[in-house]
Amino acid sequence: MLHVMVLMIFAGMQPTYSHQEKAVRVTGKLPAKASCFICLQNGETELEKPAGAVTYKGKTYYFCNKEEVDAFSKDPDSFIPAPIPRPAPMFKLPTPSGTTFDFETTKGKVTLVDFWATWCAPCVKAMPAVQKLHDTYAAQGLSVVGISIDEDGPKKVGAFLAKSKVKYTYPIALDNSAVWKQWGVKSLQTMILVKDGQITKQWNGKVDIKDVERSVRDALMR
């Protein structure tokens, strides 16, 4: 872990010490191959030649291009996944039909929350499978919620649902950006599993629906 001890001395005051942690670029020799941190978040595990690396809070993160190194160095916390388990924040959001969805209604259920957008091709491709999970496990106590982060949600999501060959029967809400930030969503596609008010699992990037289903079954059985 990188420790930076800053000594601040002001006239007439005692020395004050503050403990800070910051991202620091690795300047030494890098390994021939490593897993890119961003690629891992997207489900890609292939080792490749790193373009750079950054140390932060005792860990070294490798990246496959310099733009990612720059972005991570400036704001590492925006890239690092939130801890698991953690409390699931409550929210109320509008729906395309003009009603309001209240997450409180899922209390006592295992809940799968699917963060998506109409412009996210993997998200849209996975939605019929999410509907199938709802159809298969709703009677056993599963609740499914879709949360769109489209900027012009009412118009874009409404048009998408109207044209869709699949009729989605689980609630779909429209986020104004506050909820996905509170829930620790850093990229799409993202699915989150909630049980007993706690976020117990989170999938980022290329979501494996079979793995999601296994986790849903396990959560329902416990």
* pLDDT (tens digit per residue) in 31-48: 999 999 988 877 788 999
Q: Out of 10-19, 163-172, 211-220, which region has the weakest mean confidence (pLDDT)?
A: 10-19
Taking 70 as the threshold, does the pLDDT of residue 5 lie above it?
A: no
According to DSSP, the residues that pair with 145 across neighbouring strands are 113
- Judge if 94 and 54 occupy the same domain: no
- Judge if 58 and 94 occupy the same domain: no
Residue 175 CB burial class (10 angstroms; 0-12, 13-18, ≥19): buried
Say if CB 37 and CB 72 are below 8 A apart.
Answer: yes
The CATH number linked to 180 is: 3.40.30.10
Provide the mean pLDDT of the chain. Answer: 88
Residues with Cβ within 8 Å of 213's Cβ and at least 6 positions away in sequence, in order, are 133
- Judge if 46 and 109 occupy the same domain: no
- Judge if 106 and 55 occupy the same domain: no
Taking 50 as the threshold, does the pLDDT of residue 13 lie above it?
A: no
- Judge if 73 and 113 occupy the same domain: no
Secondary structure of 146-178 in HEC code, one letter for each residue? EEECCCCHHHHHHHHHHHCCCCCCCCEEECCCH
H/E stretch holding 124: helix 121-137
Say if CB 201 and CB 88 are below 8 A apart.
Answer: no
User: Which tens digits make up the pLDDT trace of 163-194?
Assistant: 999 999 999 999 977 899 899 898 889 999 99
According to DSSP, the residues that pair with 204 across neighbouring strands are 190
Rounded mean pLDDT of 135-162? 95
- Judge if 107 and 124 occupy the same domain: yes
- For the chain, the domain total comes to 2
- Judge if 105 and 172 occupy the same domain: yes
- Judge if 109 and 66 occupy the same domain: no
Report, in angstroms and rounded to the nearest whole number, the Rg of the chain calculated over CA atoms. 21
**pLDDT cut 90: percent of the chain above it:** 75
Name the domain boundary from 78, 106, 135: 78
Confidence of residue 12 (pLDDT cuts 50, 70, 90): very low
- Judge if 203 and 128 occupy the same domain: yes
- The residue range of the domain holding 32 is 4-78
Nearest by Cα to 171 from 108, 96, 120: 96
- Judge if 66 and 117 occupy the same domain: no
